[in-house]
Amino acid sequence: MEGHVAEVMLNRPEKYNALDMQMFEALGEAADSLAKERELRAVVLHGAGDNFCAGIDVETFTDPKVRIDKTLMQPVASSNGNLFQRAAYAWRELPVPVICAVHGITFGGGLQIALGADLRYSADDTRFSIMETKWGLIPDMAISTTLRGVMPPDRIKELAWSARVFDATEALRHGIVTSIHEDPLAAAREFAKDCASRSPDAIRGIKRLVNEAWHLAEAESLALEAKLQLKIMGSPNQVEAVHANLEKRAPNFRD
Protein backbone atom coordinates (compact mmCIF):
# COMPACT_ATOMS: atom_id res chain seq x y z
CA MET A 1 0.00 0.00 0.00
CA GLU A 2 1.16 3.50 -0.85
CA GLY A 3 -1.39 6.08 0.16
CA HIS A 4 -4.74 4.82 -1.08
CA VAL A 5 -3.32 2.59 -3.83
CA ALA A 6 -2.17 -1.02 -3.42
CA GLU A 7 0.12 -2.95 -5.74
CA VAL A 8 -0.07 -6.72 -6.12
CA MET A 9 2.76 -8.42 -8.01
CA LEU A 10 2.95 -12.00 -9.25
CA ASN A 11 6.49 -12.82 -8.18
CA ARG A 12 7.93 -15.97 -9.74
CA PRO A 13 9.88 -14.35 -12.60
CA GLU A 14 12.18 -17.35 -13.02
CA LYS A 15 9.04 -19.40 -13.82
CA TYR A 16 7.39 -16.73 -15.99
CA ASN A 17 5.14 -16.09 -12.95
CA ALA A 18 3.44 -19.44 -13.64
CA LEU A 19 0.65 -20.49 -11.30
CA ASP A 20 1.38 -23.20 -8.75
CA MET A 21 -0.79 -24.04 -5.74
CA GLN A 22 1.03 -21.51 -3.56
CA MET A 23 0.39 -18.77 -6.12
CA PHE A 24 -3.32 -19.60 -6.31
CA GLU A 25 -3.57 -19.44 -2.52
CA ALA A 26 -1.49 -16.25 -2.26
CA LEU A 27 -3.61 -14.37 -4.81
CA GLY A 28 -6.79 -15.15 -2.89
CA GLU A 29 -5.13 -14.19 0.39
CA ALA A 30 -3.90 -10.90 -1.10
CA ALA A 31 -7.40 -9.99 -2.23
CA ASP A 32 -8.88 -10.94 1.16
CA SER A 33 -6.30 -8.76 2.90
CA LEU A 34 -7.01 -5.79 0.64
CA ALA A 35 -10.75 -6.13 1.18
CA LYS A 36 -10.12 -5.26 4.84
CA GLU A 37 -8.16 -2.07 4.07
CA ARG A 38 -10.52 0.80 4.85
CA GLU A 39 -8.32 3.34 3.04
CA LEU A 40 -8.00 1.31 -0.17
CA ARG A 41 -9.25 3.15 -3.28
CA ALA A 42 -7.49 1.38 -6.19
CA VAL A 43 -5.28 -1.62 -6.97
CA VAL A 44 -2.52 -2.12 -9.54
CA LEU A 45 -1.91 -5.74 -10.54
CA HIS A 46 1.24 -6.75 -12.46
CA GLY A 47 3.93 -9.39 -12.90
CA ALA A 48 7.62 -9.42 -11.98
CA GLY A 49 10.29 -9.71 -14.64
CA ASP A 50 9.71 -9.91 -18.38
CA ASN A 51 6.24 -11.52 -18.36
CA PHE A 52 2.87 -11.14 -16.70
CA CYS A 53 1.98 -14.83 -16.28
CA ALA A 54 2.50 -17.97 -18.38
CA GLY A 55 -0.54 -19.72 -16.89
CA ILE A 56 -0.50 -22.98 -14.99
CA ASP A 57 2.90 -24.28 -13.88
CA VAL A 58 3.20 -27.54 -15.84
CA GLU A 59 4.93 -29.17 -12.87
CA THR A 60 1.55 -29.03 -11.12
CA PHE A 61 0.37 -31.83 -13.42
CA THR A 62 3.15 -34.17 -12.27
CA ASP A 63 3.54 -33.12 -8.63
CA PRO A 64 2.40 -36.09 -6.48
CA LYS A 65 1.59 -33.70 -3.61
CA VAL A 66 -1.07 -31.92 -5.69
CA ARG A 67 -4.47 -33.60 -5.64
CA ILE A 68 -7.29 -31.81 -7.44
CA ASP A 69 -10.51 -33.18 -5.96
CA LYS A 70 -14.09 -32.04 -5.64
CA THR A 71 -13.41 -30.06 -2.47
CA LEU A 72 -10.98 -27.74 -4.29
CA MET A 73 -13.60 -27.10 -6.96
CA GLN A 74 -16.16 -25.87 -4.44
CA PRO A 75 -16.58 -22.13 -3.71
CA VAL A 76 -14.36 -20.80 -0.95
CA ALA A 77 -15.81 -18.93 2.01
CA SER A 78 -17.58 -15.66 1.17
CA SER A 79 -17.12 -16.02 -2.60
CA ASN A 80 -18.84 -17.51 -5.62
CA GLY A 81 -15.48 -18.78 -6.88
CA ASN A 82 -13.36 -21.78 -5.96
CA LEU A 83 -9.63 -21.60 -5.17
CA PHE A 84 -8.61 -21.44 -8.82
CA GLN A 85 -11.38 -19.11 -9.98
CA ARG A 86 -10.68 -16.68 -7.15
CA ALA A 87 -7.19 -15.95 -8.49
CA ALA A 88 -9.06 -14.03 -11.19
CA TYR A 89 -12.54 -13.45 -9.77
CA ALA A 90 -11.28 -11.89 -6.52
CA TRP A 91 -10.33 -8.71 -8.41
CA ARG A 92 -13.88 -8.44 -9.70
CA GLU A 93 -15.18 -8.94 -6.14
CA LEU A 94 -13.08 -6.08 -4.72
CA PRO A 95 -15.25 -2.93 -4.64
CA VAL A 96 -12.46 -0.65 -5.90
CA PRO A 97 -10.93 -0.30 -9.39
CA VAL A 98 -8.30 -2.91 -10.26
CA ILE A 99 -5.97 -1.96 -13.12
CA CYS A 100 -3.83 -4.76 -14.52
CA ALA A 101 -0.59 -4.07 -16.42
CA VAL A 102 0.38 -6.91 -18.77
CA HIS A 103 3.54 -7.50 -20.78
CA GLY A 104 5.41 -10.39 -22.30
CA ILE A 105 3.67 -13.76 -22.03
CA THR A 106 0.05 -13.62 -20.80
CA PHE A 107 -1.24 -17.13 -21.39
CA GLY A 108 -4.03 -19.33 -20.03
CA GLY A 109 -4.63 -18.67 -16.37
CA GLY A 110 -2.51 -15.52 -16.63
CA LEU A 111 -4.90 -14.06 -19.18
CA GLN A 112 -7.86 -15.05 -17.03
CA ILE A 113 -6.34 -13.28 -14.00
CA ALA A 114 -5.94 -10.14 -16.10
CA LEU A 115 -9.56 -10.45 -17.25
CA GLY A 116 -10.66 -10.32 -13.61
CA ALA A 117 -9.37 -6.76 -13.40
CA ASP A 118 -11.51 -3.78 -14.37
CA LEU A 119 -8.96 -2.39 -16.84
CA ARG A 120 -6.08 -4.04 -18.70
CA TYR A 121 -3.19 -1.90 -19.93
CA SER A 122 -0.91 -3.80 -22.31
CA ALA A 123 2.57 -3.38 -23.74
CA ASP A 124 2.62 -3.53 -27.53
CA ASP A 125 4.69 -6.74 -27.51
CA THR A 126 2.42 -8.70 -25.14
CA ARG A 127 1.39 -12.15 -26.37
CA PHE A 128 -1.92 -13.68 -25.33
CA SER A 129 -3.56 -17.10 -25.51
CA ILE A 130 -6.55 -18.92 -24.07
CA MET A 131 -4.31 -21.96 -23.94
CA GLU A 132 -6.13 -24.55 -21.84
CA THR A 133 -6.95 -26.96 -24.71
CA LYS A 134 -3.18 -27.51 -25.09
CA TRP A 135 -3.40 -29.38 -21.77
CA GLY A 136 -6.75 -31.02 -22.52
CA LEU A 137 -8.65 -28.62 -20.24
CA ILE A 138 -11.29 -25.90 -20.47
CA PRO A 139 -10.60 -22.35 -19.29
CA ASP A 140 -12.15 -22.35 -15.81
CA MET A 141 -10.79 -19.34 -13.92
CA ALA A 142 -13.97 -17.22 -14.08
CA ILE A 143 -13.72 -16.58 -17.83
CA SER A 144 -17.45 -17.33 -18.13
CA THR A 145 -18.11 -14.15 -16.13
CA THR A 146 -15.26 -11.86 -17.17
CA LEU A 147 -15.49 -12.30 -20.96
CA ARG A 148 -19.29 -12.55 -21.06
CA GLY A 149 -19.91 -8.94 -21.94
CA VAL A 150 -16.62 -8.31 -23.76
CA MET A 151 -16.51 -10.65 -26.78
CA PRO A 152 -19.06 -12.41 -28.99
CA PRO A 153 -19.35 -16.13 -28.17
CA ASP A 154 -18.02 -17.27 -31.56
CA ARG A 155 -14.75 -15.37 -31.12
CA ILE A 156 -14.26 -16.74 -27.62
CA LYS A 157 -14.81 -20.28 -28.92
CA GLU A 158 -12.37 -19.76 -31.78
CA LEU A 159 -9.61 -18.52 -29.48
CA ALA A 160 -10.26 -21.17 -26.82
CA TRP A 161 -10.60 -24.09 -29.26
CA SER A 162 -7.45 -23.20 -31.17
CA ALA A 163 -5.31 -22.05 -28.21
CA ARG A 164 -3.54 -19.83 -30.72
CA VAL A 165 -1.27 -17.00 -29.65
CA PHE A 166 -2.38 -13.48 -30.60
CA ASP A 167 -0.82 -10.05 -30.19
CA ALA A 168 -1.81 -6.88 -28.35
CA THR A 169 -3.35 -5.29 -31.43
CA GLU A 170 -5.77 -8.19 -31.83
CA ALA A 171 -6.44 -8.21 -28.09
CA LEU A 172 -7.37 -4.54 -28.29
CA ARG A 173 -9.67 -5.21 -31.24
CA HIS A 174 -11.46 -7.94 -29.27
CA GLY A 175 -11.77 -5.73 -26.18
CA ILE A 176 -9.55 -8.06 -24.15
CA VAL A 177 -7.25 -5.14 -23.33
CA THR A 178 -8.37 -1.60 -22.60
CA SER A 179 -5.43 0.15 -24.25
CA ILE A 180 -1.81 -0.29 -25.34
CA HIS A 181 1.01 1.68 -23.69
CA GLU A 182 4.76 2.01 -24.00
CA ASP A 183 4.92 1.50 -20.22
CA PRO A 184 1.68 -0.18 -19.08
CA LEU A 185 2.72 -0.32 -15.43
CA ALA A 186 3.36 3.42 -15.30
CA ALA A 187 0.03 4.03 -17.02
CA ALA A 188 -1.76 1.73 -14.55
CA ARG A 189 -0.18 3.49 -11.59
CA GLU A 190 -1.14 6.90 -12.97
CA PHE A 191 -4.75 5.92 -13.56
CA ALA A 192 -5.02 4.24 -10.14
CA LYS A 193 -3.73 7.43 -8.53
CA ASP A 194 -6.33 9.43 -10.44
CA CYS A 195 -9.12 7.10 -9.27
CA ALA A 196 -7.86 7.42 -5.70
CA SER A 197 -8.19 11.22 -5.90
CA ARG A 198 -11.93 11.03 -6.61
CA SER A 199 -14.85 10.33 -4.27
CA PRO A 200 -14.48 6.69 -3.19
CA ASP A 201 -18.26 6.43 -2.93
CA ALA A 202 -18.75 7.38 -6.57
CA ILE A 203 -15.87 5.20 -7.82
CA ARG A 204 -17.14 2.15 -5.95
CA GLY A 205 -20.70 2.87 -7.03
CA ILE A 206 -19.69 2.91 -10.70
CA LYS A 207 -17.92 -0.45 -10.38
CA ARG A 208 -20.95 -2.03 -8.76
CA LEU A 209 -23.35 -0.46 -11.27
CA VAL A 210 -21.46 -1.70 -14.32
CA ASN A 211 -20.68 -5.14 -12.92
CA GLU A 212 -24.24 -5.83 -11.83
CA ALA A 213 -26.63 -3.77 -13.95
CA TRP A 214 -25.34 -4.88 -17.35
CA HIS A 215 -26.82 -8.35 -16.75
CA LEU A 216 -30.13 -7.30 -15.20
CA ALA A 217 -33.49 -6.65 -16.79
CA GLU A 218 -34.02 -2.98 -17.64
CA ALA A 219 -36.36 -2.26 -14.73
CA GLU A 220 -33.85 -3.82 -12.31
CA SER A 221 -30.97 -1.85 -13.84
CA LEU A 222 -32.83 1.43 -13.45
CA ALA A 223 -33.72 0.55 -9.88
CA LEU A 224 -30.07 -0.21 -9.06
CA GLU A 225 -28.99 3.14 -10.57
CA ALA A 226 -31.49 4.97 -8.38
CA LYS A 227 -30.57 2.96 -5.28
CA LEU A 228 -26.85 3.66 -5.63
CA GLN A 229 -27.36 7.34 -6.43
CA LEU A 230 -29.76 7.85 -3.53
CA LYS A 231 -27.15 6.49 -1.14
CA ILE A 232 -24.47 8.81 -2.53
CA MET A 233 -26.43 12.06 -2.97
CA GLY A 234 -25.99 14.38 -0.01
CA SER A 235 -23.36 12.16 1.60
CA PRO A 236 -20.26 13.83 3.09
CA ASN A 237 -18.07 12.84 0.14
CA GLN A 238 -20.58 14.06 -2.45
CA VAL A 239 -20.94 17.39 -0.63
CA GLU A 240 -17.14 17.64 -0.41
CA ALA A 241 -16.84 17.05 -4.18
CA VAL A 242 -19.21 19.94 -4.85
CA HIS A 243 -17.47 22.30 -2.41
CA ALA A 244 -13.99 21.41 -3.71
CA ASN A 245 -15.03 22.12 -7.30
CA LEU A 246 -16.70 25.41 -6.43
CA GLU A 247 -13.76 26.50 -4.30
CA LYS A 248 -11.22 25.30 -6.90
CA ARG A 249 -9.25 23.18 -4.42
CA ALA A 250 -8.30 19.54 -4.00
CA PRO A 251 -11.03 17.55 -2.24
CA ASN A 252 -10.51 15.84 1.10
CA PHE A 253 -12.58 12.67 0.97
CA ARG A 254 -13.37 10.30 3.84
CA ASP A 255 -12.77 6.56 3.59
pLDDT digits (tens, 9 = 90+) for 198-213: 999 999 999 999 999 9
Contact 113, 88 (CB under 8 A): yes
Q: Are residues 216 and 155 in the same domain?
A: no
CA distance 105 to 17: 9
Q: In what order do the strands lie in the sheet with 179-180?
A: 5-10, 42-47, 98-102, 119-122, 179-180
CA distance 228 to 236: 15
Q: How far apart are the first and last CA of the chain?
A: 15
Domain extent at residue 235: 199-246
- 189 belongs to a structural domain: yes
Number of domains in the chain: 2
- 41 belongs to a structural domain: yes
User: What tens-digit pLDDT sequence spans the chain (255 residues)?
Assistant: 999 999 999 999 999 999 999 999 999 999 999 999 999 999 999 999 999 999 999 887 677 676 777 888 899 988 999 999 999 999 999 999 999 999 999 999 999 999 999 999 999 999 999 999 999 999 999 999 999 989 999 999 999 999 999 999 999 999 999 999 999 999 999 999 999 999 999 999 999 999 999 889 999 999 999 999 999 999 999 999 999 999 999 999 999
Q: What does the pLDDT look like over 99-120, one tens digit per residue?
A: 999 999 999 999 999 999 999 9
Q: Are residues 13 and 69 in the same domain?
A: yes
- 37 belongs to a structural domain: yes
Neighbours of 65 (CB within 10 A): 6
> Given 195, 210, 232, which residue is the final one in a domain?
195
Q: Are residues 89 and 175 in the same domain?
A: yes
Q: Are residues 82 and 125 in the same domain?
A: yes
Q: Are residues 78 and 13 in the same domain?
A: yes
- 22 belongs to a structural domain: yes
